[in-house]
Structure 1
Amino acid sequence: MYETILCEVSEGVAVVTLNRPDKFNAFTERMNKEITDALKQAQKDESVRCILLTGAGRAFNAGQDLGDVAGGGEVDFGGFLRDRYNPMILQFQKTEKPIVAAVNGVAAGAGMSVALACDIRLASEKASFVNAFVNIGLVPDSGGCYFLPRIVGLGKALELAMTGEKVSAAEALRIGMVNQVYPADTFQEEALAYARKLATLPTRAIGLIKRTMNKGLDMSLEETLNYEAYAQGIAGSTEDHKEGVTAFMEKRAPRFTGR
């Protein structure tokens, strides 16, 4: 179905693999659109309860493939982003299922931005992050100016964006850019186990958590309280809420179905 990515669903997890290892999984227009479509399909598929995004080979994603930039002359950067990247990044937030980035190698430029757009980031000990835009006189895009300061704080985000320095997996963990770091030789297994655990949790509630927290970033306390009440009304009517309460009363582990 896809030319630049692989997508496989197993045990509630849709594993989406960026599959241009000879180009360090750099973005092309087709890849942008295929990732967007894969996220939409995962949202529709009730058997999918978590999405794991990773890269084939040694890299997670090296950013834009410059060979895919038409003509090699003047580029309408604004139009380029609006057409190729913005719809993809918005789809990460619209997809109300947990999205985990399994950063297996370098994540540079837009590749770093995409990792930041995911809900949770797991990193191999060999992974690294490079906010490379400044090195060619550009501004972080693909949500980089939105997600990075919210994740690591404005001061650190400005430092990383202005200097373009490489961040190791260990440093990324220290500053809160990633949630976990695993040994390289067991990384794929650890990342998949993490995603499978998320896939056993109440998926509708997780989607509502994601939506409400994202909205809360741009709302007042009063507005957030009101939206929490709205979201709780939806969550309280789900089968998983009923199962959670029943399991608690029966002193057993809940068996959530995502409904």
Structure 2
Amino acid sequence: MSEPELLTQIDEGIARISFNRPHARNALTPAMVQAMIAFLRECERRDDVRVILLTGTGDHFMAGGDVKAFAQAADAAPEDRRSQFETLALDTLPLFALMERIAKPIVAKVRGACAGASVGYVAAADFVAVSDTALFMVANAAIGTSPDGATSWHLPRIVGLRKAKQMCLLGDRLTAQQALECSLANWLHPDAELDAAVEKLLRRLANAPTVALGQAKLLLNAAPGNALIDQLALEGQAAGLCCATQDFAEGVTAFVEKRAPNFRGY
């Protein structure tokens, strides 16, 4: 029996998602998308999930869509191809809506190839740690198609419009160092140190006040599309939610008592 194409696990507050097709550089399949949507929905409703990790097995993060599978459609009629690939792209809408709205931080751990749609997955994460082996490329133009995987929405907001056009229209690659310099990545580590560094980050986030971090994430995601008065209203609502939690009571008590807080996530 073959292993699942998407590996998932929840343990000690950390939910882990691993693309698991190492023989194909973890190239994405429709089944992987649907499995990820289902798991993220579970993570959203479970109080014991406090942080989510997104990574790939083996030496690569993910090589985007499965181009070998795409090639099977090359001989189909143009309208059939149009319908097929439009549906494939739209089927990811619930996934990126979940990544945007889930009130828990998402960390992407990237080594090796991060190509095509997978750049959108990384750009949609809240934090990104990369190995010095990481290489980012929006390779869609090379096969005669446009960016997908929410890349066209997230990428210009993070790296800027001109850099996004350079990647999407010209197919220019970013090294790990260049990804760090243009804010696509938060941290760059030697490959041998990446796993330990990410585990330390995951534990730090899992031990933090989950509601407060979640509300901060949602506020920051909403801010670019809001007027000041609307954003202040959201800040007020978020403050009310946070201050009603046990973590708020623990946080202010620990501050007064000059000790480290022991947050429980609620």
* Alignment TM-score, normalising by the size of structure 1: 0.94
**Which of these residues, 159, 166, 179, is aligned with residue 166 of structure 2?**
159
Contact persistence 1:29–1:68 (CA under 8 A): no
Distance 1:131 1:70, change over 3 A: closer
Contact persistence 2:128–2:186 (CA under 8 A): yes
Asked if 1:253 is matched to 2:224, the reply is no
Asked if 1:204 is matched to 2:204, the reply is no
SS at match of 1:122: strand
Asked if 1:113 is matched to 2:120, the reply is yes
Matched with 1:81 is: 89
1:173-227, Cα deviation, whole Å (9 max, x unpaired)? 0111100011101211211211111111111111111111111121111211111
Counterpart Cα distance in 2 of 1:174 and 1:67:
33
Matched with 1:11 is: 12
Which amino acid is 1:78 matched to?
A: E
Counterpart Cα distance in 2 of 1:215 and 1:156:
23
Contact persistence 1:52–1:192 (CA under 8 A): no
Matched with 1:93 is: 100
**Which of these residues, 183, 196, 218, is aligned with residue 176 of structure 1?**
183
Q: Aligned-pair distance for 1:136?
A: 2.2
Matched with 1:62 is: 63
1:57-108, Cα deviation, whole Å (9 max, x unpaired)? 111000111344495124223222112x222121211221100000122110
Which amino acid is 1:16 matched to?
A: I
5 Å-filtered alignment, 1:23-38, equals 23-38=24-39
Q: CA RMSD in A?
A: 1.5
Contact persistence 1:123–1:181 (CA under 8 A): yes
Matched with 2:22 is: 21
Counterpart Cα distance in 1 of 2:137 and 2:26:
15
* Alignment TM-score, normalising by the size of structure 2: 0.92
Counterpart Cα distance in 2 of 1:39 and 1:192:
20
Q: Aligned-pair distance for 1:138?
A: 2.0
Which amino acid is 2:152 matched to?
A: C
Counterpart Cα distance in 2 of 1:206 and 1:139:
34
210-219 or 115-124: which moved more? 210-219
Distance 1:125 1:70, change over 3 A: closer
Q: Aligned-pair distance for 1:51?
A: 0.6
172-181 or 63-72: which moved more? 63-72
Matched with 2:110 is: 103
Counterpart Cα distance in 1 of 2:72 and 2:166:
33
**Which of these residues, 202, 218, 224, is aligned with residue 225 of structure 2?**
218
Q: Matched residue pairs, number?
A: 257
Contact persistence 1:202–1:240 (CA under 8 A): yes
Asked if 1:53 is matched to 2:57, the reply is no
Which amino acid is 2:51 matched to?
A: C
